[in-house]
Amino acid sequence: MGTIRIEDLKDFCIAVLCKEGMSLSNAEATAEVLVETDAFGTHSHGTKNLDGYIRKAHVGGLDLLSYPEIITEGPAYAVLDAHDGIGMVAGTIGMDMAVEKAKTSGISLVSVKNSCHYGAAGYYANYAALNGCIGISMSNVDPNMTVPGAKGMVIGNNPFAYAAPSKRYPTIFFDVALSSVASLKVVQAKSDGTSIPPHWIVDKDGLPTTDPSKYPEEGAMQPMAAHKGYGLAVMVDLLSGLLINGCTSVGKEIPSWCFALEKTNNVCHTFIAIDPSKFSDTGLPERVELMAQQLRSADKAMDSTRIYTPGEIEWEKHLKAEEEGIVLPLAVEQSLMELSQYSKVELKLITS
């Protein structure tokens, strides 16, 4: 596995995207999201997908040159049209607007329609938290998940994330897809030829299976915690697509971003920011850190040596990446090396 410095990986992504015609500011925003995601160790949603975005653009499913347009706006809300652009640009602009509006209004909601896969939901929630707000980020996706009592793909596993500023670590945050695991992990297992746990997907008859080889042509993801994940996935569709008259996963209006490269993705994102200073004059980061300390100091189960708070493991990985570089899993390194050969942009690995 190769290792690369965070800034070198960002520079590589920026150079590749600029060669594809993307503006420098949009390339920087996209690279920031993807590389920070890798630094947190969530490689399924990081730079491994850059090649896929570019190939999608080449066949007409994504416009790397588009820029989000404000459709409607008020003091505490806005709706943007991404015009089939890359999700990281619309996502960065959307959450930045939400934070700025929250600084005045206390709380704000910004939604985006006609977008593409925006990577890890947690990046945008963390962006709000690093700017002093509580952040919530969500997106609907293509229908890839079944629901209790059904078979086949009924609804998206619609990711959801929150984050709040803290002290010991910069934020406390939580980022999940509402299926048992992210669908890209099933895709990776299929590529690796490995079996999966029986609670990840169902087969064509709606029954649990450990064989990912026929996914996504057959079967579907299972919702996290059965009806609970199902209910939350409906909430995300409601607060993203339905709220702004955008496409929904339940309506079968969202093709897969990676399995249908020639089709526009049509996803919707929603970003919520809350400025805690408008609700209390007590410092939120201090109270969040106290809560984290209370959680970490809870009585431990037998053989347990440590209790982690949400996001703590990811921040430890990020701090290590800052010091030593990002360790790239083989599949990620191979994808980036192929992109380097195609684009003629050097990938400056520390070790390989």
Work out the pLDDT band at 27, boundaries 50, 70, 90. very high
Q: At what angle do helices 24-39 and 6-19 cross, to 10 degrees?
A: 140
The single-letter code of the amino acid at 276 is P
Closest-CA residue to 6 (of 44, 29, 46, 36):
36
* d(C-alpha 35, C-alpha 152), whole Å: 34
Q: Would you state the pLDDT for residue 301?
A: 97
List pLDDT tens digits, range 278-317: 999 889 999 999 999 999 999 999 999 999 999 999 999 9
Token pair recorded at residue 176: 């999940």
For residue 26, the surrounding DSSP H or E stretch is helix 24-39
Q: Would you state the pLDDT for residue 129?
A: 98
Q: Mean pLDDT score of the chain, rounded to an integer?
A: 96
Q: Answer yes or no: is 211 within a domain.
A: yes
Q: Would you state the pLDDT for residue 183?
A: 77
List pLDDT tens digits, range 317-352: 999 999 999 999 999 999 999 999 999 999 999 976
Contact 119, 34 (CB under 8 A): yes
List pLDDT tens digits, range 130-174: 999 999 999 999 999 999 999 999 999 999 999 999 998 999 999
Q: Answer yes or no: is 349 within a domain.
A: no
| CATH number of the domain within which 211 lies | 3.30.60.50
Q: Would you state the pLDDT for residue 1?
A: 82
Phi, psi of 288 (to 5 degrees): -65, -40
**Of 182 and 27, the one with more pLDDT:** 27
List pLDDT tens digits, range 220-274: 999 999 999 999 999 999 999 999 999 999 999 999 999 999 999 999 999 999 9
Work out the pLDDT band at 90, boundaries 50, 70, 90. very high
With tokens 């003091």, the residue in question is 75
DSSP 118: -
* d(C-alpha 199, C-alpha 209), whole Å: 8
Q: Would you state the pLDDT for residue 352?
A: 67
List pLDDT tens digits, range 185-230: 888 899 899 999 999 999 999 999 999 999 989 999 999 999 999 9
* d(C-alpha 121, C-alpha 45), whole Å: 10
* d(C-alpha 230, C-alpha 203), whole Å: 18
Q: Answer yes or no: is 293 within a domain.
A: no
Positive or negative, the CA dihedral 318, 324, 330, 334 is positive
* d(C-alpha 56, C-alpha 305), whole Å: 46
Q: Answer yes or no: is 198 within a domain.
A: yes
* d(C-alpha 229, C-alpha 2), whole Å: 36
Q: Answer yes or no: is 10 within a domain.
A: no
Q: How many domains does the chain have?
A: 1
Q: Answer yes or no: is 214 within a domain.
A: yes
Q: Answer yes or no: is 165 within a domain.
A: no
Q: Would you state the pLDDT for residue 226?
A: 94
**Domain housing 208:** 180-222
Q: Answer yes or no: is 11 within a domain.
A: no
